């Protein structure tokens, strides 16, 4: 029951947050099982346009970021894939030659920068990063903490939905 109430809490928060934006508001997110997919689904319920940003083509992305959560998440991902404008960063996990020597840099960090920079193209004052996150720093470069830090560094507003509080986690 707590998870259902929490999902309504997330929905209510997003409704409030997006009610402050114009009807032309658009949201960008990845497609990983959990928060990414839930975000797209809630935005659809609120009639907010979203774009699906994938680090890899959908078949490879599913293997890396969806399949481990089970077949129901693959089905939900495929439903989004069939409805949303989708952008793909690169065809393989290998970084382009001009980036392969960059220290402490990988596909997922590049993916975060790509999504963030696409949003920032509209101006940092017009960007709000909504992160469904437990606040743990353990995910490293390319993780949620890294994206939050980079968004703040570039002047975007950051709103953190604390998963520990929302879902009663310890």
Does residue 70 sit in the same domain as residue 115?
no
Give pLDDT tens digits for 6-59: 344 445 555 545 555 555 567 889 999 988 898 899 888 878 888 999 999 999
For 134-137, which contacts have Cβ atoms below 8 Å and span 24 or more sequence positions? 134/162, 134/163, 134/164, 134/169, 135/160, 135/162, 135/164
* Segment of 11-20, 35-44, 75-84, 97-106 carrying the highest mean pLDDT: 75-84
Domain range spanning residue 151? 104-170
Q: Flag whether 20 is in a domain.
A: no
Give pLDDT tens digits for 49-73: 889 999 999 999 999 999 999 999 9
- Name the pTM for this structure: 0.83
Does residue 72 sit in the same domain as residue 114?
no
Q: Flag whether 14 is in a domain.
A: no
Task: Give the residue from 91, 120, 138 where a domain finishes.
Answer: 91
Task: Give the residue from 35, 70, 91 where a domain finishes.
Answer: 91
Q: Flag whether 8 is in a domain.
A: no
Task: Please count the structural domains in the chain.
Answer: 2
């Amino acid at each position: 029951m707590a998870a259902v109430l929490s999902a309504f809490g997330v929905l209510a928060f997003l409704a409030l947050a997006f009610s402050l934006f114009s009807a032309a508001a658009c949201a960008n997110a990845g497609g990983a099982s959990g928060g990414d997919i839930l975000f797209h689904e809630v935005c659809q319920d609120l009639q907010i346009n979203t774009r699906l940003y994938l680090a890899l083509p959908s078949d490879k992305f599913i293997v890396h970021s969806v399949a481990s959560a089970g077949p129901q998440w693959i089905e939900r991902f495929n439903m989004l894939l069939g409805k949303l404008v989708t952008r793909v960063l690169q065809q393989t996990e290998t970084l382009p030659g001009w980036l392969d020597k960059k220290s402490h840099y990988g596909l997922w960090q590049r993916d975060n920068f790509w999504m963030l920079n696409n949003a920032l193209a509209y101006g940092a004052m017009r960007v709000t990063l909504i992160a469904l996150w437990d606040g743990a720093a353990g995910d490293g470069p390319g993780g949620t903490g890294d994206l939050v830090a980079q968004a703040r560094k570039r002047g975007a507003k950051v709103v953190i939905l604390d998963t520990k509080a929302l879902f009663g986690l310890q």
